[in-house]
Amino acid sequence: MDAGTTGRARLVLLGALAPVVWGTTYVVTTELLPPDRPMTASLLRALPAGLLLLALTRQLPPAAWWGRLAVLALLNFGAFFPLLFLGAYRLPGGLAAVVGSAQPLVAAALLWTAFRQRTPLPRLLWAAAAVAGVAVAVLGGPVVLDPLGLAAAVAGTAVMAAGVVLTRRWGLPEGLGGIAATGWQLTLGGLMILPLVPLVDTGPFVLDLPAAAGYAWLAVPGGAIAYAAWFHAGRRLPSTSLTLLMPLTPVTAAVLGWAVLGEALTPLQAAGFGLAVLAALAGQLPAPPGLRRRHGSSRTDAPDEPAASRRGAGGGPAPHPGRKG
């Protein structure tokens, strides 16, 4: 295995860390956190994690980058978290998981619509297979659609996909490390969520030992560590490859529900989750050489080359090569 393949495999493993950790959110929320406090959970997942990373890095972004950081913070946290929880509370968990697993297809559509950049056909097919696998695993019986919940889930999937695409294209400015950039996004996103807490949350705020442990888990592993890993991989892997790892979130949630909560997991569900995992991993493979030559490697296997790989426009130097979640 050559150095390039080894490096890509490490990035995939690092990117997969985040969806797996996010898959623990359902168990943590249902077992440890007070009910009816979705915005409180969002706020305490983002703001403390951001402040922790800022305290560790102590880096200020260039003045020209504040606008980009605000956009990324809105897409990745300020808008995504509220839409995620709104969809999760108003939709059956299975349907929310299916909508979320469609992120690579949304990312591919955004790349083509905004930048006329193609995604390799094999990766699109694996993305469709991942959605099918999740659907087989989590959808059973009639599904009652809530229009507002469905709109929130679709919008949440779209804004997160857009955040992944722009994270990849914009890269990092000179003098700002990836951990610091993550810290600023989490902090700004948390401040955007703050006004929503009294408007949305209805349950009493309880901070006993289980709740404190749950919020700490959401903030540190689920916030600071997971998002630092996610954005690090997101600046280096093609956007559709990275988002193809998202089905690992409902897979992890289902395994934990079976192992920790005693929830049933039928053979058909296991097969569906197996297909989703297979598609997520197979979608990380580079496009075949013939396909890259036919379409141009910069337009297929690495369709969203980061702007930071070119000097100018504040890009700086090239960077180093569910239900809630």
Tell me if 323 is assigned to some domain: no
Dihedral, 39, 45, 49, 50 alpha carbons, nearest 10? -40
Tell me if 126 is assigned to some domain: yes
> What contacts 224, CB < 8 A, 6 or more positions away?
49, 50, 52, 53, 182, 183, 186
Tell me if 79 is assigned to some domain: yes
Q: What percent of the chain has pLDDT over 70?
A: 86
Q: How many residues does the chain have?
A: 325
> What contacts 25, CB < 8 A, 6 or more positions away?
218, 222, 253, 322, 323, 324, 325
pLDDT value, residue 43:
95
pLDDT value, residue 319:
36
Tell me if 299 is assigned to some domain: yes
Whether 211 contacts 88, CB under 8 Å: no
pLDDT tens figures, 213-237: 999 999 999 999 999 999 999 999 9
pLDDT value, residue 304:
52
Which residues constitute the domain of residue 130? 3-309
Tell me if 316 is assigned to some domain: no
DSSP type of residue 16: H
Tell me the residue type at 166. L
Whether 150 contacts 91, CB under 8 Å: yes
Tell me if 324 is assigned to some domain: no
Q: How many domains does the chain have?
A: 1
Instruction: Report the C-alpha gap between 224 and 150 in whole angstroms.
Output: 28
pLDDT tens figures, 175-215: 999 999 999 999 999 999 999 999 989 989 989 999 999 99
Name the token pair of 246.
């998202």
Instruction: Report the C-alpha gap between 236 and 167 in whole angstroms.
Output: 10
Q: Which residues of the chain have pLDDT under 70?
A: 1-2, 93, 141-144, 287-325
pLDDT value, residue 315:
39
Q: Comparing C-alpha atoms, which of 164, 161, 141 is closest to residue 153?
A: 161
pLDDT value, residue 317:
34
Instruction: Report the C-alpha gap between 76 and 64 in whole angstroms.
Output: 20
Tell me if 318 is assigned to some domain: no
Tell me if 321 is assigned to some domain: no
Instruction: Report the C-alpha gap between 47 and 180 in whole angstroms.
Output: 14
Residue appearing with tokens 């959401």: 218
